[in-house]
Structures are given as structure tokens and as C-alpha cells.
Amino acid sequence: MSNHTGQDIQIGPYRLDGQVLLAPMAGISDVPFRNLCHDFGVSLSVTEMTTSDTALWTSAKSRHRLQLNEIKGIRAVQIAGSEPLQMADAARAATELGAQIIDINMGCPAKKVCRKLSGSALLRDEELVKKILVAVVAATDVPVTLKTRTGWDKNLKNGVRIAQLAESVGIQALAIHGRTRACAFRGKAEYDTIRAIKNAVKIPIIANGDIDSPESASEVIRYTGADGIMVGRAARGKPWLLQQISDQLKKNFYAPPPSIETRRDIIIGHLDAMYRFYGEYTGVRVARKHLGWYLQELGEANQFRKIVVRAESSCLQMQLIKEFFRHRLQGEEAVTAHSSPPGVSHQWRKQKEQENLPGNQTDRAKFN
């Protein structure tokens, strides 16, 4: 594969197979979603951000984030923190767990993260940025990458200086979200600063922010000269978009979105993966979010979603989805009973209640 700049993306010993990366999204880009996106042509994804305080790594959340043995492709771990020694410890510990790339998060505007001066709050203090980068690079043999924003705010757009600093201390690739920390997610991402960064350094640059179609991906690559792009929110509920973008960048054409049958199979596979990865209780809850996005894509944002989020067991959740698609595929008309919005047959729910199968009150009580 050759990209628009004529070179594959190389991060240390790893040559990426494609220019499309998945953006880390805490609470979303977990192992099941990352593996699914990998199947849709993503060449690299990192874990959701993991605290640099390794004492907290025994929590269920961190344990799931740091479960590296099930991940398809390169095992990259993102760490967030503000103390150089602690960040170095975290990098070392993640490497021992099997990380093949350590990614430093300096891009998160979340108040919780900023208050502790990690994430993009760090961008105000370039001396501290340097200390962290130097400490992390020294702590591990694996390549270290950095994810950041264009700067702290519109008066301190120091993205270029941060990028040069990063390159000078051995950071091997940079992902840049085209917003300042102050912008949070408001307004539109801008790509001028990403372009300036690309011109200022030699390490691979990954452009990120508001890329939501094969066309916008091509345009961002053309405009910024970036080596690759990173997609976050637009992949929720339609991971096949990543394949479309990848095909566009590789071959200059892409297939239409998958058929309803194929979507059903993708969603069922994703549900199964979540149940297996998290177990019954958490799996069902994590799945609700993803189902919401999938259904939104299918034009079923409100009605059927209200039913499916009430399912308390994987069995009922899965059955509801299968039933929903069966009706969709049969082109059946919406059921009139208001307790059974379109897509779920009233008779089917009644039958489940009679059979005392998951979905009735007994089942719900079990998990409450």
C-alpha cells in the first residue's frame, strides 16, 4: 500500500497496512469494537485511555482496557497522566503486559482529566510535556507515539512547537485532533495547523477530527499532506465506514453501505463479542450504547431503542435484535400496540411472557 505522500506509515518496526486508524474513545473503542474495526480495514487502534496510576489497574475498567491478548493487530496502549515518573512507570508496566506501542494522551479536554493536568491541559506547560515525553521514551523499548490537539486555546496554538519537541525526543508518530483544548468538541475541526505540523516534522502525522466520509478523508489527506487519518465518532453504529474510507484511499472507489442482512450479521457478531468479553451483566449494558448507534443508522433511533434498552439479559437483547431484523427483512408493517413499537411483534412479546423467558419481570428482577 502506498499513501498520498508516497510512503507507508512506519512506526518503529511496524509498517501499517493502510492509512485509516481508529480514534480512541473511552467507553466505546473497547476490544470488541476495535477488533470489529480491524476487520473493516483499520490499520491501528489504541486502547481507551488508561490512567498512569498503575495502582488503579486492578479495577475492572482498567483490566478490560489492558486486556491485550485478545486484540487483533498491533497492541497499542494509551496512557494519560501528568507526572513524568508515573508516566514512565505506566509505560514500563504496559510494555510488560505486552504493549507493542505506547501512546501518550495529550488530547483529552475532559474536566476530570484536565483537573489532574493530564490530557490536553498539559499543552500549556511545554517544559512538563518535554519531561513526560523524555521519561516515557526512556522507560520502554517499544515505539512511543503522541495524541494531541492543535494547542491549548486560540491564543496558544502551540501544536507545531509540541510536534517538533516530540520529534526531537524520539516520539515516532503524532495524531493531531484539529481542535484546541478550549474548543472541546465545539465548532469545526481545522486542518491548517495539522498541515503546518506535517510541514514542520518528518515523523508520520495522523490527522483527526470530524472525518465522517471517504470524501472528507481524501480531502483531509490532500489538504494536510498527513500520512493517515483517524476516525472516531463517525464510526459509531457504522464501522463499515472505515472500510469505505480505506478503499477510497487505496483504490479510489468504495462499496455502498452493507445490506440489512449484512448489518444484522455484523451487529449479532458484535453483540456476541461484547457478551464474551465483558460477561453477561456488563456486556448487556455496553451493548446498549452500540445498539443505539446502530439503530440510529437504521432510522430506528427512538421507538425500538426504548424497548431494547430495557432488556436485562443477553438472551433477550439478542432475541429482540434478531426479531427486529426479521421484521425489517420481511418488510412487515409497524405493529400498532404502543407497547410494541415498529420492529417488535406484539405477539412475540406476549409469547415470551407466557413462556417465562428472559424479558419478563422475573428476568429483569434478577439483574436489578
Active site residues: 108
**Window 52 to 91, contacts with ligand FMN (CB under 6 A):** 78
Q: Does 108 bind ligand FMN (CB under 6 A)?
A: yes
Question: Taking each helix axis from N to C terminus, what angle separates 192-200 and 159-168, rounded to the nearest 10 degrees?
Answer: 30
How far is 22 from 44, CA to CA, in rounded Å? Answer: 7
Residue 192 or 265 having the CB closest to ligand FMN: 192
Residue 368: closest CA among 315, 319, 312: 312
How far is 329 from 190, CA to CA, in rounded Å? Answer: 41
Minimum gap (Å) between residue 113 Cβ and ligand FMN = 9
| Residue from the set 31, 49, 241, 249 that interacts with ligand FMN by CB under 6 A | 49
Q: Does 231 bind ligand FMN (CB under 6 A)?
A: yes
Residue 325: closest CA among 359, 294, 293, 349: 294
Residue closest to ligand FMN, measured at CB = 232
**Window 197 to 216, contacts with ligand FMN (CB under 6 A):** 208-211
| Residue from the set 9, 28, 183, 308 that interacts with ligand FMN by CB under 6 A | 28
**Window 302 to 321, contacts with ligand FMN (CB under 6 A):** none
How far is 96 from 307, CA to CA, in rounded Å? Answer: 44
**Beta-sheet pairing, 205-208 with 228-231:** parallel
Q: Does 238 bind ligand FMN (CB under 6 A)?
A: no
**Window 137 to 166, contacts with ligand FMN (CB under 6 A):** 147
**Window 169 to 198, contacts with ligand FMN (CB under 6 A):** 177
- Beta carbons within 8 Å of 50's beta carbon, 6+ residues apart: 57, 62, 65, 66, 77, 78, 79, 80, 90, 94
Q: Does 48 bind ligand FMN (CB under 6 A)?
A: yes
Q: Does 107 bind ligand FMN (CB under 6 A)?
A: yes
How far is 52 from 132, CA to CA, in rounded Å? Answer: 11
Residue 142 or 146 having the CB closest to ligand FMN: 146
CB 36 within 8 Å of CB 266 = yes
Task: List residues near ligand FMN by CB under 6 A.
Answer: 23-28, 48-49, 78, 105, 107-108, 147, 177, 208-211, 231-234
